[in-house]
Structure 1
Amino acid sequence: MRTTSVGVFKIATKGPGDVSGLMSLIGSRAIDPACILAILGKTEGNGGVNDFTREYAVAALRMALAPKLDLTPEEVEQRIAFVMSGGTEGVLSPHITVFTRQDVQQRPAGISGKRLSIGMAQTRDFLPEELGRSAQITETAKTVKAAMEDAGITDAADVHFVQIKCPLLTSERVEAASSRGHKTATISAYSSMAYSRGASALGVAVALGEVMFDIDDDDVLRRYDLFSKVASTSSGIELMHNVVIVLGNSDSSASEFEIGHAVMSDAIDASAVLSALNSVGLGPQAKAGREFVNVFAKAEASPNGSVRGFRHTMLEDTDISSTRHARAAVGGLIAGLAGTGAVYVSGGAEHQGPAGGGPVAAIARLL
C-alpha cells in the first residue's frame, strides 16, 4: 500500500469568484497545484436550484488552475473534485478548503497512529429517472468503496466524513425522461434536490455497512430510520453524476492532520459538536500541540416540526426555506463552539444522521 501525505488549507473568499487566496498560496509554494485533489467551499448564494454561485465558484477555480496544471478548464474538473455548498446564512463565512495529496516514500519520524487520508471517485452519469432511486443508491455505494480504496482505508470505522456532490432535476431533464416513457421521482426541481441527497446518503450507508439490507425506491425520504452517520450530500445543477470524497484516517497516511466525527441528534446538539472536537484533541479538553482547521456538518429542520418538544416554524415559513433556517441555526451553534464562522455547514440532511440531526466532523492539525 502506498504512503501518502495529505494537506488541508482553509482560505477565506471575498466572493464566489475570488481565487486570490488560493493563487497566493500557490505563488508562495505553500500549495503545489499538481497535488490538489479536492476543494470544498461555502458560497454566499441561496443554496437552491438557481444558486449559480456554486457554478461560478467552480468556473473561477477551473480557469485559475488550468494554466498552473497545463490543462483545459474541463480537464481540471476531471482531475480535481469540486464541491460548492451554497448558503452562508447568519454568521457562516464564505471560504474554501483545499485538500492536497502526494505520495511519499515513508512516514517521517515522529508520526504515529492513523492520520488523515482522502480518496475520490465518480459515478457514471445518471439518467433523470434514476435520481432519488435505487440505481443512484447502488452506484453511489460502489463508488464510495472505490474512494475508500483510493484513500487507503480498509476499515469502515476509519471513515469519518463522506462528502458527495450529486445532481438534481430540471424541467428539461424531467421532460427528457418523459419523452422516453419514464417518470422521475418528482417533477419538482427543488424536491429533487432532497431525493438526490437522500439516495446518495443511503448509498454511503450501504457501502459502510450502516444499512445491512436492500433499500427500495419507496424508502427514500420515507424511512428516516435508515441513515448514514458520516454522509454529507449536496445537490447541484452543474452535473449529472455523483462526485464522492472520502475522508478518514489511515495507517498509510503521513499527514499532519487527523479527522474525527460525531452525530448531532438535533439542530441544537452542542454536546455532539464538542464530541467531534474532542475526538481530534480540540474543544474544552484540548490537547497541547493541536490546531483547529475546520468543521464539516449537515443541518436539517426536524421533520416533525419540533426540537426537544418545542414547536419550530422552519417548515411553514414561505419566505425562507427550511434549509436556510437550519444552516443558520446549526452554523451559529458550531461557530460559537469552534470560535469561527468559517465552518462548512450544508443544509438538507435527508438520511444523513437521524431525522432533524446530522453528522459533524472536525479536522485538527498536529503541531
Structure 2
Amino acid sequence: MPEAKVHRIATTGPDDVSGIASAIASGAISPDGIVAILGKTEGNGCVNDFTRAFSVHMLKAELSRHLPHTALDEIAYVMSGGTEGALSPHILVLERTAGQEIGDEQSLAIGRALTPALPPKDLGRLAQVEMVAAGVRAAIRDAGIDALSDVHFVQIKCPLLTSDRIQRAETEGHSTATRDTLKSMGLSRAASALGVAVALGELQLSDIDDTQIGRDMSLWSSRASTSAGVELENHEIVVLGMSRQWSGPLAVDHAVMADAIDVAPVKAALDRLNLGRDDASLVALLAKAEPGTSGRLRDSRHTMLDDSDISATRHARAFVGGVLAGLVGTTEIFVSGGAEHQGPDGGGPVAIIARRNGG
C-alpha cells in the first residue's frame, strides 16, 4: 500500500536546488519515489517568464545525479510564476513511498499523467478540452481513486502559444485560436480547466463549444487549477484526492472561494482537517486567484483590470495570497493567477494538505 509524502522546501531563487539536494542526502526524500514537483518562482508569470523553465532545468540537473533520464521525464514539473506581494518562493515535492496496511481510513492519494504534445491549432479549443479530460482520467486511475467525489484538486501545467508555434500551425495550413501570445495563456488555462470539469462529471463535453472557452464564466470546475507556461507543449497533470488504497497521516480537502475575500469556505475546510485543533498541522495550501470580469468586488470598484502597467493576474495573486496567508499564518502558499473556468468568476478553488494526529 503506497503512502504519500509532501515536502515543502523554501527556495532562494529559481536556480536553488540546495533544499531538495539536502533532503535527498539525508534520506528524507527518495528520488525514485518523486511523482511531481510543484513550485512558485519569482518571475512575472507571463509569456516571457523563463524562471519556470530555469527552475525545471535546475531540478532535472540535480535529480539526474540520482535518476536515469527516462525517470526524469516521467516526473510532472508544475512551476507557477509570480510571487507578488509577500508570497514566498518554494517547491512542493510530492513523493510516493511504500506504506503500511492500516485499516479502512482514507489517506492522501497522488496521481500523475502526461499528455502528448498539443498541436498549436488545438490550443484553446475543444480538442484541448478532450485531451485534458482523458489525461485527468488517467491520473485518477494512477492515483487509485475510486470515486470522483474523492478527487479534491487537479493541478495542470499547460502550454501556450509563441510566435514560432503560431507560424508552425499557419505553415501547415491551420489557424490558431488567437495570435496574441499573452491571450493564449488564458485560453489554454480555460480549456484545461474545462477538461477537468468534464473528467470529474461537473460538465458534459456537449455543454461546451469553442466560442465559450475563456468567455462563458458560468462554466467552471470546483477542483481545477491550471497554469500555462512556455516551457512545455504537452500537459502535466497532478491529481490530489483521498483513497483507502493509500496509507499515511496526510489528508487533503478543498474549498471554493466565491470571491477574493471569501474565506469562510476555506475556514470550513481547515476545520474539517482539524487544523487549529488537536495536533494536526498544515503541509501545503494551493489556490487560484482571479480579479473577476465585472471590475467589482462586493459592489466596490477595483482597478486590477484597468492597470496598464501590471497584469491583473499579478494583482490577484498578491491580493489572494495576502488574504490566505493571514488565515493560515504562512506566506509559503501556492497561489496561481488566472482562474478562467476555475471556480466562479472572481473566485477560485483552494486545496489544503494537512498532517493528521502528529504523523
Regarding TM over 0.5, the answer is: yes
User: Structure 1 stretch 111-120 or stretch 34-43: which is displaced more?
Assistant: 111-120
Pairing 1:98–2:103 present:
no
Of the three residues 77, 80, 92, the one matched with 2:75 is 80
CA deviations on 1:123-151 (whole Å, 9 max, x unpaired) are: 11111010010000001101101100000
Q: Which residue of 1 aligns with 2:174?
A: 182
Cα distance, 1:112 vs structure 2: 4.5
Cα distance, 1:331 vs structure 2: 0.2
Matches within 5 A, 1:1-367: 3-69=1-67, 71-72=68-69, 75-104=70-99, 106-108=100-102, 112-214=104-206, 215-282=208-275, 286-366=276-356, 367=358
Q: Is the Cα–Cα contact under 8 Å of residues 111 and 240 in structure 2 kept in the other structure? A: yes
SS of 1:61's equivalent?
A: helix
Supply the distance in 1 between the matched residues of 2:231 and 2:134 (Cα, whole angstroms).
Answer: 22
Cα distance, 1:275 vs structure 2: 2.2
Q: Structure 2 unaligned runs (5+)?
A: none
CA deviations on 1:231-260 (whole Å, 9 max, x unpaired) are: 000000011111110000001110220000
Supply the distance in 1 between the matched residues of 2:13 and 2:40 (Cα, whole angstroms).
Answer: 10
Q: What amino acid is aligned across from residue 46 of structure 1 in structure 2? A: N
Identity of aligned residues (%): 53
Cα distance, 1:279 vs structure 2: 2.7
Q: Is the Cα–Cα contact under 8 Å of residues 54 and 84 in structure 1 kept in the other structure? A: yes
Cα distance, 1:298 vs structure 2: 0.3
Q: Is the Cα–Cα contact under 8 Å of residues 261 and 275 in structure 1 kept in the other structure? A: no
Q: What amino acid is aligned across from residue 253 of structure 2 in structure 1? A: G
- Number of residues paired by the alignment? 356
Q: What amino acid is aligned across from residue 231 of structure 1 in structure 2? A: A
Cα distance, 1:102 vs structure 2: 2.3
Greater than 4 Å deviation, 4+ residue runs: none
Supply the distance in 2 between the matched residues of 1:324 and 1:347 (Cα, whole angstroms).
Answer: 7
Q: Structure 1 unaligned runs (5+)?
A: none
Cα distance, 1:354 vs structure 2: 0.5
Q: What amino acid is aligned across from residue 85 of structure 2 in structure 1? A: G
Supply the distance in 2 between the matched residues of 1:196 and 1:170 (Cα, whole angstroms).
Answer: 12
**RMSD of aligned residue pairs (Cα, Å):** 1.1
Q: What amino acid is aligned across from residue 354 of structure 2 in structure 1? A: A
How does the TM-score come out when normalised to structure 2? 0.97
